[in-house]
Amino acid sequence: MARRIEIDPVTRIEGHARITLELGDTGRVERARFHVDQFRAFEKLAVGRPFHEMPGIMARTCGICPVSHLIAGAKAGDALLAVEIPAAAVRLRRILHLAQILQSHALSFFYLSAPDLLLGMDADPAQRNVVGLYAAAPELVRGGIALRAFGQEIIARLAGKRIHPAWVVPGGVSSPMRAEARDFVLAGIPTALDTALRTLDDFKRQLESHQEEIRSFANFPSLFLATVGEHGALEHYDGPLRLVDATGEIVADGLDPAAYREYIAEQDEPDSYMKSPYYRPRGPSAGMYRVGPLARLNAADRCGTERADRELAEFRALQRGAQLSSFHYHYARLVEIVYALEQIDALARHPEALDPRVRAQAGPNRVEGVGVAEAPRGTLIHHYRIDANGIVTWANLIIATGHNGLAMNEGLLQVAKHFVDGDRLREGMLNRVEAVIRAFDPCLSCATHELGRMPLDVRLVDARGNVVDVLRRDGA
């Protein structure tokens, strides 16, 4: 008899989502779906507004990665102005964006996923949170909090505030970097780098104990999409897109981000407000791709900074070809933290870091503009059309998490088939179902996340609607 398990809400992710598992007659999972129930309508909110407001409006999409929306929105604005922005502005945008990669990755790893990784997937849910983790590993949590705070403080020093600064504007940034801000950044790097490398070493030592999760957490062949920089380097701010396959071979390279519609198709899902894009030439099934830290490390030839390159070499040695397990998103995130710190250091040391020329002035010179940035969770696309007066007439966004939609559903099915046995529900097995989603670090709506207070109510319902089993997790 077919049965259905619903996990609502999925906890320790950014935003609100629900998972349904459908069990066949044998009690094994046959279908798994990830539903995003919230509706935001930012593409509609943009219509009728002057395009100079777009970075500020679009940044409100997210409280975790507002900087990525600022960057993508401002880059689309640059395209509408049809100007080349000053080099100093590019460097400052890069620093700001990397600071956000740093703080967002630290949030994902230390606050949201480390409780699973260090306390165990089957640990008491009342303890399996960052507070419980603090009791077990205070040094680690303190380091994680400090890393995130450092990223946030860099954003505040450069852009005026931690969350939703309006400093990134079409044409550049609104003010140059002050010497005090640069000194603050440079002074904080060594300690932060030390923490990041120590955490990465600890994580690598523990990989052995997560082999089952590594094997079953969305571990399948897929394409990987990411921006790459010069000479194929890891890149988060600007560059052509590259698509690699499961063997690590390049499928498409030098893709113009502005022409994304030529190679990315978007499909709607009947049971989710999240779009599911795919690589157009291969269709919705074979064209499934992943984005984000894992995809970026799989796509890049190198990081371009010393320590991150060493870590990338080790990461590559895990398996021939691309790393296919989504569990390794965690690993990739830690490598990217190291990269971000090294890169911020280099950018802040640039001899013209304090150059006052940071903004190009122009009116609208094009009626269509695309801005793409590598957000913490992957490739983020903003696309606007304007009228002759600069008023937005149409907008399309592809949020990083959306790209991963197909892969998350596929991953859910894999992990649910492996761990969920329909006869009896165990909290730990459902936690693994949630944990595979956490590995992708989805950012669904930027809803504020109330730590440890979200109750989880899972019902196993048979085809007639009878409740077979109920599992309740109260807010901790």
Partner 1 sequence: MSVCTLFVDGREVSAGAGETLLEVLRENGIDVPTLCNLEGLSAVGACRMCLVAVKGQGRLMPACTTRVWDHMEVTTHDERLDRYRRGVLELLFAERNHVCSVCVASGHCELQSLAAQLGMDHVRFDYLHPPLAVDASHPRFAIDHNRCILCTRCVRVCDEIEGAHTWDVAGRGVKAWVVTDLAEPWGESSTCTSCGKCVQVCPTGSLFVKGHAVGEMEKRTAFLPYLARRRKGTP
Nearest residue (CB) to partner 1, 57 versus 181:
57
Least distance to partner 1, CB of residue 95, Å: 19
Least distance to partner 1, CB of residue 361, Å: 7
Report helix, strand or coil for 53: helix
Which stretch in 21-29, 123-131, 389-397, 415-423 sits in contact with partner 1 by CB under 8 A?
389-397
Nearest residue (CB) to partner 1, 351 versus 363:
363
Whole-angstrom distance, CA of residue 22 vs CA of residue 287: 25
Q: What is the DSSP string of 212-279?
A: HHHHHSS-S--EEEEEB-GGGBB-SSS--EEEE-TTS-EEEEEE-GGGHHHHEEEEEETTEEEEEEEE
Say which residues have a Cβ less than 8 Å from residue 235's Cβ, sequence separation at least 6: 226, 227, 228, 229, 296, 300, 374
Spell out, one character per residue from 358 to 377, where the chain touches partner 1: x when CB under 8 A holds, - when not.
Answer: ---x-x--------------
**234 and 339 Cβ atoms separated by less than 8 Å:** yes
* Element spanning 71, H or E: helix 66-81
Least distance to partner 1, CB of residue 151, Å: 22
Q: Is 391 in the site for partner 1 (CB under 8 A)?
A: yes
Please, which of residues 170-209 interact with partner 1 by CB under 8 A? Answer: 170, 174
Please, which of residues 157-176 interact with partner 1 by CB under 8 A? Answer: 164, 166, 169-170, 174
Least distance to partner 1, CB of residue 44, Å: 12
Residue 473: beta bridge partners? 456
Instruction: Give the residue, chosen from 15, 32, 35, 56, that forms a contact with partner 1 under the rule CB under 8 A.
Output: 56
Parallel, antiparallel, or unpaired for β 378-386 and 29-35? unpaired
The identity of residue 6, as a single letter, is E
Least distance to partner 1, CB of residue 158, Å: 15
Say which residues have a Cβ less than 8 Å from residue 211's Cβ, sequence separation at least 6: none
Whole-angstrom distance, CA of residue 450 vs CA of residue 471: 21
Least distance to partner 1, CB of residue 383, Å: 19
Parallel, antiparallel, or unpaired for β 272-279 and 168-169? unpaired
Q: Is 55 in the site for partner 1 (CB under 8 A)?
A: yes
Q: Is 26 in the site for partner 1 (CB under 8 A)?
A: no
Question: Cα 364 to chain center, whole Å?
Answer: 31
Cβ count within 10 A of residue 280: 15
Nearest residue (CB) to partner 1, 63 versus 240:
63
Nearest residue (CB) to partner 1, 65 versus 408:
65
The tokens of 315 are what?
């990461």
Whole-angstrom distance, CA of residue 405 vs CA of residue 249: 23
Nearest residue (CB) to partner 1, 54 versus 154:
54
Q: Is 356 in the site for partner 1 (CB under 8 A)?
A: no
**172 and 360 Cβ atoms separated by less than 8 Å:** yes
Is 364 exposed, middle or buried (CB count within 10 Å of its CB: 0-12, 13-18, 19+)? buried
Q: Is 385 in the site for partner 1 (CB under 8 A)?
A: no
Spell out, one character per residue from 57 to 76, where the chain touches partner 1: x when CB under 8 A holds, - when not.
Answer: x--x----------------
Nearest residue (CB) to partner 1, 278 versus 384:
384
Nearest residue (CB) to partner 1, 92 versus 133:
92
Nearest residue (CB) to partner 1, 53 versus 202:
53
Please, which of residues 399-418 interact with partner 1 by CB under 8 A? Answer: none
- Compute the C-alpha angle 236/237/240, nearest 5°: 85
Which stretch in 45-53, 91-99, 182-190, 222-230 sits in contact with partner 1 by CB under 8 A?
45-53
Residues that bind partner 1 (CB under 8 A): 48-50, 52-53, 55-57, 60, 164, 166, 169-170, 174, 361, 363, 389-391
